[in-house]
């Protein structure tokens, strides 16, 4: 049996369904525990996942896909079932913005003035407004993208005042801290998000944090968009 046919076997689909139901229930439990009334968006992160498995997840009720890699996305997008919202969440080079600007409804990974300017310019050429999130390097890790926490205020101002960009909030990928828990970072992100929302108002409505290993904790700390890959589709090869 080839890998491809295995990955789309009935067993593989049944596993995705089971995972979906479990994650949905875990999210609902975290929402109840946090006593929240708002809605949490469940994004399926599609990197390395075959199209038919992605489409199956959509058939279960997922209506938001997260794309990391421009080339992979461009190769797969024509085969996705229509009417699914797609966000770009991976590191984005300035020269790739033009390939995705008309194909996604939000970019989560904006982390430099140059990138913001390029998105603004390309959006303007398309006569559209692009929704963006600022990626925050909340753990101050050298190897990672994102704006350092100290620079968030200034960069938010910069993005907020561009004509063809609409700042919607923040994204983060916190590292585990010494206790193997991200809690401290999630709390810091929640503070950054709330401060920005009091400053700019209700346009700021998205806090994108929480992945397969920590989405419940993220929901306890105000995340309203969790990005889930391996817990839904299985481990990536």
Ligand X SMILES: *Cc1c(COP(=O)(O)O)cnc(C)c1O
- The yes or no reply on residue 223 touching ligand X (CB under 6 A) is no
DSSP state of 9: S
DSSP state of 163: S
- The yes or no reply on residue 68 touching ligand X (CB under 6 A) is yes
Asked if residues 88 and 105 have their Cβ atoms less than 8 Å apart, the reply is no
Helices (H), 143-236: 152-160, 183-200, 215-220, 230-233
Task: Kindly tell me which of 90 and 222 has the beta carbon lying closer to ligand X.
Answer: 90
- Report which residue's Cβ sits closest to ligand X: 229
- The yes or no reply on residue 47 touching ligand X (CB under 6 A) is yes
CA 15 to chain centre: 23
**At closest approach, how far in Å is the CB of 229 from ligand X?**
3
Q: Is 230 exposed, middle or buried (0-12, 13-18, 19+ CB in 10 A)?
A: middle
- The yes or no reply on residue 70 touching ligand X (CB under 6 A) is no
**At closest approach, how far in Å is the CB of 61 from ligand X?**
18
- Segment contacting ligand X by CB under 6 A, of 5-13, 98-106, 156-164, 227-235: 227-235
Binding residue for ligand X (CB under 6 A) from 13, 183, 230, 234? 230
Distance between CA atoms of 144 and 138, rounded to whole angstroms?
10
Query: 157-216: which residues touch ligand X (CB under 6 A)?
Result: 173, 211-212
- The yes or no reply on residue 90 touching ligand X (CB under 6 A) is yes
Instruction: Measure the CA angle with vertex 112, ends 126 and 98; round to 5°.
Output: 25
- The yes or no reply on residue 139 touching ligand X (CB under 6 A) is no
Binding residues for ligand X (CB under 6 A): 45, 47, 68, 89-90, 173, 211-212, 227-231
């Amino acid at each position: 049996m080839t890998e491809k046919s295995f990955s789309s076997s009935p067993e593989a689909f049944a596993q995705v369904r089971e995972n979906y139901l479990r994650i949905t229930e875990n999210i609902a439990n975290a929402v109840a525990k946090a006593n929240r009334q708002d809605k949490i968006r469940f994004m399926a992160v599609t990197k390395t996942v075959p199209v038919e498995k992605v489409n199956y997840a959509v058939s279960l009720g997922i209506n938001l896909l997260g794309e990391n890699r421009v080339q992979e996305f461009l190769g797969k997008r024509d085969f996705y079932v229509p009417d699914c919202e797609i966000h770009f969440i991976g590191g984005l080079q300035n020269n790739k913005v033009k390939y995705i600007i008309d194909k996604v409804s939000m970019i989560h990974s904006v982390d430099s003035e140059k990138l913001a300017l390029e998105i603004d310019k390309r959006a303007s050429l398309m006569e559209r407004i692009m929704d963006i999130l600022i990626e925050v390097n909340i753990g101050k890790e050298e190897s990672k993208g994102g704006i350092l926490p100290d620079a968030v205020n200034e960069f938010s101002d910069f993005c907020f005042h561009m004509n063809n960009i609409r700042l919607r909030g923040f994204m983060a990928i916190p590292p585990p801290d010494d206790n193997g828990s991200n809690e401290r970072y999630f709390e810091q992100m929640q503070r950054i998000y709330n401060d920005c929302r009091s400053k700019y108002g209700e346009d700021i409505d998205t806090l994108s944090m929480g992945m397969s290993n920590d989405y419940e904790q993220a929901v306890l700390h105000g995340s309203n968009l969790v990005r889930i890959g391996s817990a839904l589709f299985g481990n990536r090869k």
